[in-house]
């Protein structure tokens, strides 16, 4: 029986190590892919934009519909609507749709502001549904059916696009008739609010400054990120694509892959930055990550069989598989944290301790573990941030380790769940270093207990590894321990209650009807 358990532990350890190694190597490949094509791709895009803007007459610009999907966004509804109203575009060619599924006071804010903007001559419509069928996907589908624009821009409530967003996006879409969607880069409004937002910003920069460009500019399948992008309406209405669908929690990822499987392309513009608010509360961040992790695995279950039966190249299919299953890294990291302690006690025939030769596996783990650090550091450097990412790496790794339980459970959920409730991430209207609590409380659970317990377990295991003279590899267990304890402590009900109570001290002048700085000022401050 003991030998059987030893085999189980060793198998789990080896499988986790191999899986993490594969995803680590994948990051190295993406960095190389981005580096070899980014200079030419960015130069060509900028030349296309400049050429069209310099020569096109107002009547040559196509009609565009900007969609703003909302659900109970009292803190930011006015900000996003005013931001979209401020977008520069030829007169009479820009339609605004507010897809409002709200059932609270947000409706009053939306209606009052829409009426005000209509009085100023803007083409703005508020569309509401009796039921939230399909959640965000359902709202976008309804809006697309009624949209008058040839192109449809989508902006979530926490974004503040620069005023020339459409003027830079549309020329790239007009240049390529087979281009279904153009995705812009996410920037950050409140990056310096806390260590949590700084860590998130670094991770998001890795995705947008490396991964998206690497895929788009090397012929791989990439995804629309749900916001800060523009779709060609013809692609949405293409029967081979199938339009928006609510059978996964990441309707954007699902639609992106179906469009590309139908023969359309999706491109990415590194220099089309659109700043957004990062979740400043650990509960909101967990909710966001659960949705993304569950949804990406749902899309993998739904579309990977179709991808592997398609005529895509082997490289495209492998890349798509790694892309859609990337959140499974949390599952393998969690297993590694659990089996690290019993690995020290393993014995094989002849009584040889496995701890004498598991160095090879730990070297693989190290090689995989530093891949995100290299990727995110290069991403920040490519954005002009120099080597500023280096001091943030320990924080980001600890946060990633601490989120393992949350994301691993979401991955398992995605394997068997179809659809599910779209739980939106609470926003607060934060900008720069100013702290401000959201009017909406994030979803709470008892997961913090397991996180604290696993944090203690990881630190105890760390001590055992140090005593066994395995200190070079014990650093990972220390990061696990710190990460689990930090996330668990921040998620505890007492902490959450304090954070929520802080919102009650906000006076009336900070309600969402007080807009504050202009969208242009917010966008400019985020870029700088």
For the record, the structure tokens of 161 come out as 């696009």
CB 81 within 8 A of CB 109: no
* Residues 6+ away with beta carbon under 8 Å from 4: none
412-435 burial code (b ≥16 CB/10 A, e <16):
ebbeebeebebebbbbbbbbeeee
Task: Give φ, ψ of 92 to 5 degrees.
Answer: 85, 0
Of 75, 100, 101, 205, the catalytic one is 101
- Beta carbons within 10 angstroms of residue 219's beta carbon: 15
Angle between helices 359-382 and 471-491 (to 10 degrees): 60
Of 123, 205, 252, 281, the catalytic one is 252
For the record, the structure tokens of 236 come out as 């949405």
513 half-sphere exposure, CB direction, 13 A CA radius: 14
- Beta carbons within 10 angstroms of residue 404's beta carbon: 25
In total, the chain counts a number of residues equal to 528
- Beta carbons within 10 angstroms of residue 128's beta carbon: 16
- Residue whose tokens read 């220390």: 478
Active-site residue flag, 104 = no
What 8-state DSSP symbol labels residue 350?
Answer: G
- Residue whose tokens read 């039966």: 309
Active-site residue flag, 252 = yes
CB 450 within 8 A of CB 520: no
CB 402 within 8 A of CB 486: yes
Cα–Cα distance, 471 to 404 (Å, whole number): 23
The H or E element that residue 339 is part of is helix 329-345
Q: How far is CA 174 from CA 56, 87, 420, 524, in A?
A: 12, 19, 36, 27
CA 270 to chain centre: 16
Active site positions, annotated? 101, 252
């Amino acid at each position: 029986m003991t030998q059987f358990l030893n085999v189980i532990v060793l198998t789990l350890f080896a499988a986790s190590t191999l899986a993490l190694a594969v995803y680590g190597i994948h990051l190295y490949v993406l960095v190389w892919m981005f580096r070899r094509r980014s200079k030419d791709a960015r130069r060509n895009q900028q030349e296309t934009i400049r050429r069209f803007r310099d020569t096109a007459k107002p009547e040559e610009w196509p009609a565009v519909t900007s969609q703003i999907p909302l659900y109970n966004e009292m803190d930011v509804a006015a900000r996003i609507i005013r931001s979209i109203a401020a977008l520069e575009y030829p007169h009479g060619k820009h339609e605004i749709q507010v897809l409002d599924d709200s059932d609270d006071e947000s409706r009053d804010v939306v209606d009052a502001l829409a009426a005000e903007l209509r009085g100023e001559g803007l083409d703005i419509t508020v569309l509401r549904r009796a039921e939230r069928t399909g959640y965000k996907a359902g709202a976008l589908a309804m809006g697309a059916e009624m949209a008058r624009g040839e192109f449809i821009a989508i902006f979530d409530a926490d974004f503040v696009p620069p005023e020339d967003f459409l003027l830079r996006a549309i020329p790239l879409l007009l240049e390529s008739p087979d281009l279904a969607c153009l995705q812009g880069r996410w920037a950050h409004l409140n990056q310096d609010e806390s260590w949590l937002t700084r860590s998130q910003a670094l991770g998001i920069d890795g995705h947008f400054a490396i991964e998206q460009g690497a895929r788009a500019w090397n012929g791989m399948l990439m995804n629309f990120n749900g916001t800060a992008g523009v779709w060609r309406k013809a692609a949405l209405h293409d029967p081979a694509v199938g339009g928006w669908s609510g059978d996964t929690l990441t309707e954007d990822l699902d639609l992106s892959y179906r469009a590309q499987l139908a023969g359309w392309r999706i491109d990415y513009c590194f220099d089309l930055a659109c700043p957004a608010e990062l979740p400043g509360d650990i509960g909101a961040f967990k909710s966001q990550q659960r949705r993304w992790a569950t949804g990406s695995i749902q899309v993998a279950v739904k579309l990977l069989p179709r991808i592997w039966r398609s005529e895509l190249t082997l490289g495209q299919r492998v890349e798509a598989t790694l892309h859609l299953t990337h959140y499974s890294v949390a599952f393998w990291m969690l297993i590694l944290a659990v089996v690290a302690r019993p690995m020290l006690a393993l014995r094989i025939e002849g009584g040889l301790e496995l701890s004498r030769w598991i160095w090879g596996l730990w070297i693989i783990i190290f090689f995989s573990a530093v891949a995100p650090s290299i990727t995110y550091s290069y991403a920040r450097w490519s954005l002009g941030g120099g080597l500023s990412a280096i001091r943030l790496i320990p924080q980001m790794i600890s946060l990633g380790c601490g989120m393992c339980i949350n994301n691993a459970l979401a991955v398992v959920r995605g394997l068997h769940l179809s659809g599910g409730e779209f739980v939106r991430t609470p926003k607060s209207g934060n900008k720069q270093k100013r702290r401000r609590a959201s009017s909406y409380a994030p979803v709470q659970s008892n997961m913090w207990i397991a996180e604290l317990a696993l944090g203690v377990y990881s630190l105890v295991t760390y001590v055992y590894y140090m005593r066994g003279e395995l200190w070079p590899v014990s650093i990972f267990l220390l990061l696990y321990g710190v990460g689990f304890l930090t996330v668990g402590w921040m998620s505890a009900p007492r902490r959450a209650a304090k954070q929520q109570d802080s919102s009650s001290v906000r006076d009336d002048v900070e309600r969402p009807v007080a807009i504050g700085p202009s969208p242009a000022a917010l966008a400019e401050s985020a870029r700088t």
